[in-house]
Amino acid sequence: MDIKDFFFKMKPLKTDVIIDDTTLRDGIQMPGLATGPKEATKIAQLLNEIGVERIELFHYQEPDKKAAKLIAELKLDLRVAGWCRAVKEDIDSAVQCGFKEVGISHPVSEIHFKAKWPEKTHEQIIANLADVTEYAAKTCGLRTFVHGEDSTRADWELEKRIINTVADAGAECYRICDTVGIGLSDSNAPLPNGIPAKVVAAKKETRIKAIEVHAHDDFGNAVENTISAIKAASGVWDKIYASTTFLGIGERAGNAETEKVILNLYLHYGMKKFEGKTEKLKMTADYIGKATGYVVPPNKAIVGDYGFAHESGIHTHGVLNDPFTYEPYPPELVGNIRRLTIGKQSGKGVIKHKITEATGILPDDQIVAMVVERVKEIYANGRRASLKDEEFKKILRTMKILPENNCSC
């Protein structure tokens, strides 16, 4: 069996997809997470190695400014942007930190307008955004993105007016922000929350040069919505930016996972720019978890410790004979490893395999049966968790199957 039998089947996308990772901005806004300058610098380096081409940073507190300086000193291949509000002081701060580009976040929905500026007219709100955008793009000479906060609940006529205004003011890219995750991936879904429809409408009805999608995961659809935007851009836009966070960390339910979007683009659409880079996904996940204080769920797709773990008799029997029975691609492709664990549902096949692994000797049926019975006793007495390798070896020592001096301690 070859991985090519199942993947690389979709026609190549007729748009360039640029991963714009915001782990160091939106990601660390997740409650309880934080990272220091050295850790942020290492994260930026790892993101560069997996194929991310642009990242987004905060730059208001001294540790953030130091991180921006350290990242700049690395001279990575990726672009680094400072995240700003629509105030000139934020643009000045970005310039002082040495950023060459910025993203200006600004609401575009009536919900936000009424909640944040009830005393202001649309004209006043838009005029301020235009002024700050022009200041960033033309006065300061920065590559400027404008992030349309709450885009998927915004009246299209109003949003279209905003997009054209910031385009004329010098913005290069407009970010469609599915701020509360209600966007729809269906190509037939209407505006404002039909994401494919918005991607197409922005090309046809606005003067903006580039488009971006930033999806939140409140409905669990962030990756789906991101991919739907990319597909909608194919043949319509020369390029589309995908704003993601590694592990999906971020506000509330988080964002589209960088690793999932990359792997989908590589395996399903054959996007060659990620070839040879996916092997570092697991390592990147482990480091980001450690650096930020985020506990990576063991069953997290692609990068979780249990992503390729097998315990039940049916699964372990299949994987021992042919890993493709219960694995879609080799774990090495994403830097993960296969784990065969022993638990309540384990059969004699995996126990025989683990005995051989521990002793280096193929056990006979009698020994296997004895160990199977011992494992059943353990779980009959209330054990729930899988047996760790050292626990299993201890059982083998107790049963005189493994010598006492064989210890990994």
Q: Which helix (H) or strand (E) holds 115?
A: helix 110-116
What are the pLDDT digits (tens) for 66-107? 999 999 999 999 999 999 999 999 999 999 999 999 999 999
* Residues 120, 114: Cα–Cα separation, whole Å: 9
Mean predicted confidence (pLDDT) in 341-352: 88
* Residues 331, 350: Cα–Cα separation, whole Å: 19
Mean predicted confidence (pLDDT) in 324-345: 94
Q: Answer whether residue 302 shows pLDDT above 80.
A: yes
Q: Answer whether residue 298 shows pLDDT above 90.
A: yes
Burial 79-108 (b: 16+ CB within 10 A, else e): bbbbbbebebebbebbbebebebbbbbbbb
Residue 344: predicted pLDDT? 87
* Residues 284, 267: Cα–Cα separation, whole Å: 19
Given a contact cutoff of 8 angstroms between Cβ atoms, the answer to whether 102 and 136 are in contact is yes
Q: Answer whether residue 409 shows pLDDT above 50.
A: no
Half-sphere exposure of 61 (CA within 13 A, CB side): 7
Q: Answer whether residue 328 shows pLDDT above 50.
A: yes
Residue 333: predicted pLDDT? 98
Q: Would you state the structure tokens that stand for residue 287, as one six-digit string?
A: 């480091």
Which letter does DSSP use for residue 11 in this model? P
Q: Answer whether residue 399 shows pLDDT above 60.
A: yes
Q: Which helix (H) or strand (E) holds 17?
A: strand 16-21
What are the pLDDT digits (tens) for 207-251? 999 999 999 999 999 999 999 999 999 999 999 999 999 999 999
Angle of helix 313-321 relative to helix 348-359, nearest 10 degrees, comes to: 60
* pLDDT band at 407; cut points 50, 70, 90: low
Backbone angles phi, psi at 55, to 5 degrees: -130, 165
Task: Give percent above pLDDT 70 in the chain.
Answer: 99
Residue 364: predicted pLDDT? 92
What are the pLDDT digits (tens) for 40-57? 999 999 999 999 999 999
Residue 312: predicted pLDDT? 84
Q: Would you state the structure tokens that stand for residue 60, as one six-digit string?
A: 């208001």
Residue 406: predicted pLDDT? 60
Q: Answer whether residue 408 shows pLDDT above 60.
A: no
Residue 403: predicted pLDDT? 87
Residue with tokens 């089947």: 9
Residue 172: predicted pLDDT? 98
Q: Answer whether residue 1 shows pLDDT above 80.
A: no
- Whole-number mean pLDDT of the chain? 95
Residue 130: predicted pLDDT? 98
Q: Answer whether residue 345 shows pLDDT above 90.
A: no
Q: Answer whether residue 381 shows pLDDT above 60.
A: yes
Non-local CB neighbours of 373 within 8 Å, separated by 6+ positions = none
- Specify the fold of 309-398: H-NS DNA Binding Protein (4.10.430)
Kindly report the CA angle at 271 between 179 and 232, in degrees rounded to 5?
45
Q: Answer whether residue 397 shows pLDDT above 80.
A: yes
Given a contact cutoff of 8 angstroms between Cβ atoms, the answer to whether 265 and 272 are in contact is no
Query: What is the residue extent of each domain of the chain?
Result: 8-292, 309-398
Mean predicted confidence (pLDDT) in 328-357: 92
Given a contact cutoff of 8 angstroms between Cβ atoms, the answer to whether 207 and 170 are in contact is no
* pLDDT band at 332; cut points 50, 70, 90: very high
Question: What is the CA 165 to chain-centroid distance, rounded?
Answer: 31
Mean predicted confidence (pLDDT) in 312-330: 90
Mean predicted confidence (pLDDT) in 362-368: 92
Which letter does DSSP use for residue 364 in this model? P
Kindly report the CA angle at 302 between 1 and 81, in degrees rounded to 5?
130
- The CA radius of gyration of the chain, in Å to the nearest whole number, is 25
**3.30.70.260, 3.40.50.2300, 2.60.40.10, 3.20.20.70: CATH of 8-292:** 3.20.20.70
Task: Output 179 or 343, whichever has higher pLDDT.
Answer: 179
Q: Which helix (H) or strand (E) holds 83?
A: strand 79-85
